[in-house]
Amino acid sequence: MADKYSLSLKREEGPGITKDIGENVFLDDLSDEYRVFAFYYPPAMPDEDLESGLRGLGDLTGENLFVNIGKLNDPSFAKIVKAFDIHDYPVVVLTATSDLAGAGEEGVNVYVRIDDKRVLEDPARAVELVQEIYTLFLRGEVADAIAKAKSNERMELVRAVAKRIGAGLSKIAGFVADRDFKVSLVEGSFEMTKSAT
């Protein structure tokens, strides 16, 4: 059976402490209110405009979307690299809790990885792409595509989701689906559960 990933909550003591934008927030530090997650890992020379745009999107979406500006020193980074098949930087990975991104009996969650340098070198376009993919997850479009897939075969699920996301992104000028994002499955499922420790 596949491992189950848990996005655990570790609350800091004190009244009114909230964090909607991550500054190297680790997987174990996420709030249990979030349902869609965007993890950004920069290259060696960070892009301040892209980071600023992602922070702004996180501010606008509040607890609907958790935006994490990560660093390579996250203790869970090796798991992140393996789970999301990360090879290039910068990279933005979007996923959601299993009700919005899960593939039911398969024990996997859908994720979308954006690592095309041409897209990420244009911060406004990259943020628009992240926003649209986030909206597709939140509106249930990804979950609907999974539910309507003709089979539970992994490649069929990926194709169905990629097609739905591509259709949803068609309004973005100059969008080329097979270049601008990649859809895949991560073993396990993302659930917002509080840590017992």
Quickly list DSSP for 153-197. -HHHHHHHHHHHHHHHTTTSTT--HHHH-EEEEEES--EE-----
Query: In the structure, what pLDDT confidence band is assigned to residue 33 with cuts at 50, 70 and 90?
Result: confident
Tens-place pLDDT, residues 102-161: 876 556 788 899 998 888 999 998 999 999 999 999 999 998 888 888 776 777 788 888
Amino acid occupying residue 54: L
| pTM score of the predicted model | 0.77
Confidence check: pLDDT of 39 > 70: yes
Query: In the structure, what pLDDT confidence band is assigned to residue 9 with cuts at 50, 70 and 90?
Result: very low
Query: In the structure, what pLDDT confidence band is assigned to residue 173 with cuts at 50, 70 and 90?
Result: low
Query: In the structure, what pLDDT confidence band is assigned to residue 99 with cuts at 50, 70 and 90?
Result: confident
Query: In the structure, what pLDDT confidence band is assigned to residue 51 with cuts at 50, 70 and 90?
Result: very high
Instruction: Give me the mean pLDDT over the 49-69 stretch.
Output: 91
Instruction: Give me the mean pLDDT over the 56-77 stretch.
Output: 85
Instruction: For residue 142, give the CATH number of its domain.
Output: 3.40.30
The verdict on residue 97 lying in a domain is: yes
Q: What total number of domains does the chain contain?
A: 1
The verdict on residue 1 lying in a domain is: no
pLDDT at 32: 63
Domain that holds residue 77: 6-192
The verdict on residue 185 lying in a domain is: yes
Tens-place pLDDT, residues 71-97: 777 777 787 888 888 999 999 999 888
Count the neighbouring beta carbons within 10 Å of the beta carbon of residue 23.
11
Strand, coil or helix: 50: helix
| pLDDT greater at residue 148 or residue 2 | 148
| Average pLDDT across the chain, whole number | 75
Q: How far apart are the first and last CA of the chain?
A: 24
The verdict on residue 19 lying in a domain is: yes
pLDDT at 93: 93
- Range with top average pLDDT, 3-17, 46-60, 104-118: 46-60
The verdict on residue 197 lying in a domain is: no
The verdict on residue 100 lying in a domain is: yes
pLDDT at 136: 92
